[in-house]
Amino acid sequence: MKKIFFILALCISAGAFAQTSTDGEKEWEMKQYYMVFLTKGPYRNQDSVTAATIQEGHLENIGRLNKEKKLIVAGPFLDDQNMRGIFIFDVATEQEVIDLLHTDPAITSGRLNYEIHPWMTGKGVCFE
């Protein structure tokens, strides 16, 4: 969890110097994203073949959502805890996030669960 906050703080502080007006004053336009923490789901006892199929579909879904420019950050945590990974969505509503999450076979199978958090940062600070 500390790593997440360090990375986010780094993005924000780097952007503090990135957006300036012609007179040298900082200009900030805030933009909302949706941060999703992926956690272990209630059903993780699939056999290895089924688990591999679910994971393949999970990765394909991530690729599709990234190509559609709806999912701009995705990745696993490497410390094998309850929290498994993170998504950051660039969409208009939380309901759209929920709908997109339910296209992921890891979520629909119950292998993963999620927490959604609306999050803001300066537009262009971390993401284009």
Q: pLDDT-derived band of residue 125, with 50, 70 and 90 as boundaries?
A: confident
Topology of domain 2-122, CATH: Alpha-Beta Plaits (3.30.70)
51-61 pLDDT, tens per residue?
Answer: 999 999 999 99
Tokens of 18: 């990135």
Half-sphere exposure of 12 (CA within 13 A, CB side): 11
Least confident of 2-11, 31-40, 98-107: 2-11
The reply to whether the predicted model has a pTM over 0.85 is: no
Q: Each residue of 65-85: pLDDT tens digit?
A: 999 999 999 999 999 999 999
Following CA atoms 44, 84, 54, 90 in sequence, which dihedral angle do they give, to the nearest 10 degrees?
140
Q: Would you state the pLDDT for residue 32?
A: 95
Residue 118 β-bridge partners: 34
Stated length of the chain? 128
pLDDT at res. 95: 98
